Amino acid sequence: MDYTLMVRHSGGNLARNYDTQYNVSAPYVNVALEASEKLNIDASIRFDMGKVDGTFTGGTESAVDINNDGVISAPEQNVFSVNNAAPTTVDYDYDYVSYSLGLNYKLQDRQAVFARYSRGAAAKADRILFSGLDYQNSDRINALDFLNQAEIGYKQGFDNGAIYVTGFYSKTTEQAGFEATNPDLIIDNDYQSFGVEVEGSYRINDLSVRGAVTYTNATLESGDNEGNAPRRQPDFIYNLIPSYNFGADKQNSLGLSFIGQTKAYAQDTNELIMPGFVIVNGFVNVGITKDLNANLSANNLFDTLGITESEEGSIVEGQTNFLRARALPGRSISLGLQYNF
């Protein structure tokens, strides 16, 4: 038998081989129309056609004399390898239609309302391999996830700023895709969400402030966890970015950015909570000479721990628990010089 030796790693899919080709064609048409002095309309339609073929191969465990010393040591008793002699054939195609229709109506100078309705999809590619599906049957492959979304909003401009308010509703159908870092987890959920997003900016002399906040109320509409909140989805995400220009010719600047979110559930079971966090970044730009500038920037100034995802969904009392989680990078500081010539 033909084997390729791979290093075993509990957190990834290293004992696997992918050899698949994805050919996609997507013709589209977009039309923009100024229906009147106050009303603008735009519409688009797109037809995606995908063809997928190739093979993939999973891993197997066996005893292998790695160092060829004639003895199977303890680590060599359980070696992960890829069995290239037993590949799974992939041969399927898919197609779908996406479209979008948007309206913008001017109420008066610097004031307007807008609305949009869209439908689209995404093909999961390698996310559905190793899921036990019929990879040679285009009607049963479940390669597509669909999204329908509607939004309506208001925008207002001022002498020194602007504000935008958008309400949205979306419905997502996600079909049988495996979790990249947890191949034993197959995701097959429908989601529904609604919410509102507020964005704004304002300037007072040399001081400017930009910010945004989004509220999302999302629920699972199918599966064993129907009615729960989707994993990793906070109720609020937000950012605030103040900056200040100074110096004789205003070529110097400094600023901060606050980026954060409220708590979220690690998994759809809604048992383990990832705490909310705020990450603070900062920068200073100084003109040393006419052509020479210095920049000092810092990311995550306070070295805040921000957890964005976790594979485990609960902690079991009375036993040792291990959680695999992804954290945002810790504090980093950089200094740069720029010379124009």
242 SS3 class: strand
pTM, whole model, 2 decimals? 0.80
Beta carbons of 31 and 43 less than 8 angstroms apart: yes
Which tokens belong to 62? Answer: 């066996």
Taking alpha carbons only, the member of 150, 164, 168 closest to residue 217 is: 168
**How distant, in Å, are the alpha carbons of 261, 302, 330 from that of 212?**
12, 22, 24
Spatial separation of the C-alpha atoms in residues 302 and 193, rounded to whole Å? 33
Spatial separation of the C-alpha atoms in residues 178 and 23, rounded to whole Å? 22
Range in 8-12, 105-109, 202-206 with the lowest mean pLDDT: 8-12
Q: What are phi and psi of 75, to 5 degrees?
A: -65, -25
For the chain, what percent of residues have pLDDT higher than 70? 92
- Asked whether residue 9 carries a pLDDT value surpassing 50, the answer given is no
Q: How confident is the model at residue 4 (pLDDT cuts 50, 70, 90)?
A: very low
Q: How confident is the model at residue 131 (pLDDT cuts 50, 70, 90)?
A: confident
Q: How confident is the model at residue 134 (pLDDT cuts 50, 70, 90)?
A: confident
What is the DSSP code (8-state) at residue 297? E
How many CA atoms within 13 Å lie on the side-chain side of 30? 4
List CB contacts of 159: < 8 A, sequence separation 6 or more: none
- Asked whether residue 323 carries a pLDDT value surpassing 90, the answer given is no
User: For the chain, what is the total number of helices (H) and then of strands (E)?
Assistant: 0, 21
Taking alpha carbons only, the member of 240, 325, 233, 231 closest to residue 278 is: 240
Q: What are phi and psi of 267, to 5 degrees?
A: -140, 170
* pLDDT tens digit sequence for 72-85: 888 878 777 787 88
Report CA 43 to chain centroid distance, whole Å: 26
* pLDDT tens digit sequence for 153-202: 999 999 999 999 999 999 998 765 555 555 555 556 789 999 999 999 99
Give me the pLDDT at residue 173, please: 87
272 SS3 class: coil
Residues 278, 279, 284: CA angle, nearest 5 degrees: 135
- Please state the rounded mean pLDDT for residues 225-236: 94
Please state, as a whole number, how many other Cβ atoms lie within 10 Å of the Cβ of residue 174: 20
